Amino acid sequence: MELAQRVQQLPPYLFARISQLIAEKRAAGVDVISLGIGDPDLPTPAHILDALKEASDDPANHRYPESDGLPEFRRSIARWYENRHGVILDPDREVVPLIGSKEGIAHFPLCLINPGDVSLITDPGYPVYEVATMFAGGETVKLPLAEEDGWLPRLDDISADVAARAKILWLNYPNNPTGAIADLAFFERAVAWAKAHDVAIAHDLAYAEVSYEGYEPPSILQVEGARDVAIEFNSLSKAFNMTGWRVGMAVGNAELINALTRVKTNMDSGIPQAIQQMAMAALDGPLDAVEEHNAIYTRRRDRAIEVLRELGLRVEPPKASLYIWARLPEGERSSADFAGRLIDQTGVVVTPGMSYGAAGEGYIRISLTTPDDRLDEALSRLAKFARGEQVL
């Protein structure tokens, strides 16, 4: 049988290939340590798990949920946004819970993209933005990011022809993979550009609660008028170590939220209600664990940067996100070759920057979600490699 062209054209998902590479090395007897995937190793806080255990005993939670979520969960999301960002949301019109933010991001182009329409995607960037656009029948135009611009897109460089065909501008700050941040002044420029060209902004805010030295990443919805054009995707995965529970939200423009909800009602049956109640305990409960986790990530970040610099990599400490984005040493041209040598000679996995787009070439990404003892071992191996010593 012949598969659909959209599947034939689909590249292997980045982290599936990384997982395959790890499995191959382990099968060969190598003790592999992965610094590649941003999946928090720290456990979900106990009070959140307690809420799940209690909710799981309620027979009402054993039945189908609703795609638009429990009303009380939508209100909890609205309270979170008011307390965290000072943004007032209508929980019935401007909020929809998601089965993880990835699900909403993957479905969103179906709301706006017709064949021939364009999504504007930053390069480097999260691969799902492009794949979701392709599934919807659209085309992507990549906006190259550069270190000298703080990894922010040059919106004024977008041609009039491209802007006329564009339906979505994807943004993601704090950024994956670069760890870059955006201030409200940038978001103001983005909103003004989107209004001038009748383009929706889809902002991915999944890393807002992983930040350092007191920095608090903003929501694009804090900008006056942003709600006219913007939808924001958010997640409990990184903030509360809940990647395995699959719960997030989209908020913002009521028309876009309604469209996404309509797509979801035809695609899924919503988040299990016990997990929604668990998520409410996270959003409405104490945030001590978030601060504790960020302190752990800060220590890991600082240790990793010291060793990466010994390797000759150029790196600046990120203010947010779970990642370190490091420029290759002088004379190195291929991020894939560099990452390949590291795994072959040290058993340490890093992600080549080119995996996130052509503009990511020349960099690697390190994740800070490896337990301390394994991270220490990985860094010890990398330090030996930097000194020219045999590791494996």
Q: Which domain holds residue 242?
A: 63-284
Q: Locate tokens 């608090």: which residue? A: 216
| pLDDT value at residue 108 | 98
- Residues 75 and 192 reside in one and the same domain: yes
- Residues 231 and 333 reside in one and the same domain: no
| Phi, psi of 232, rounded to the nearest 5 degrees | -125, 130
d(CA 123, CA 111): 23
- Residues 279 and 292 reside in one and the same domain: no
Would you state the structure tokens that stand for residue 262, as one six-digit string? 């309509």
Q: Is residue 54 part of a domain?
A: no
- Residues 265 and 297 reside in one and the same domain: no
Q: Is residue 259 part of a domain?
A: yes
| pLDDT value at residue 52 | 97
- Residues 239 and 309 reside in one and the same domain: no
Q: Is residue 374 part of a domain?
A: yes
| pLDDT value at residue 12 | 66
- Residues 263 and 298 reside in one and the same domain: no
| pLDDT value at residue 17 | 65
d(CA 163, CA 180): 24
Point out the domain boundary residue: 266, 284, 302. Answer: 284
Q: Is residue 391 part of a domain?
A: no
- Residues 25 and 106 reside in one and the same domain: no
**How many domains does the chain contain in total?**
2
Residue 194, CA distances (Å) to 127, 149, 189, 294 in order: 22, 20, 9, 34
Point out the domain boundary residue: 284, 300, 322. Answer: 284
Residue type, 127: P
Give pLDDT < 70 ranges for the chain: 12-18
| pLDDT value at residue 28 | 86
- Residues 112 and 239 reside in one and the same domain: yes
Q: Is residue 392 part of a domain?
A: no
| Region class of 234: left (phi > 0), else alpha (psi between -120 and 50), else beta | beta
- Residues 225 and 86 reside in one and the same domain: yes
Could you read off the pLDDT of 307-319 as tens digits, one per residue? 999 999 999 999 9
- Residues 85 and 212 reside in one and the same domain: yes
d(CA 162, CA 140): 10
| pLDDT value at residue 129 | 97
Q: Which residues pair with 170 in a beta bridge?
A: 202
| Region class of 150: left (phi > 0), else alpha (psi between -120 and 50), else beta | left
Could you read off the pLDDT of 32-71 as tens digits, one per residue? 999 988 899 999 999 999 999 999 999 999 999 988 999 9
CB 321 within 8 A of CB 151: no
Point out the domain boundary residue: 229, 256, 284. Answer: 284
CATH number for the domain harbouring residue 341: 3.90.1150.10
Q: Locate tokens 């995965």: which residue? A: 237
CATH number for the domain harbouring residue 184: 3.40.640.10
- Residues 116 and 215 reside in one and the same domain: yes
- Residues 269 and 331 reside in one and the same domain: no
d(CA 328, CA 313): 5
Q: Is residue 50 part of a domain?
A: no
Could you read off the pLDDT of 127-186 as tens digits, one per residue? 999 999 999 999 999 999 999 999 999 999 999 999 999 999 999 999 999 999 999 999
Q: Is residue 56 part of a domain?
A: no
Q: Is residue 325 part of a domain?
A: yes
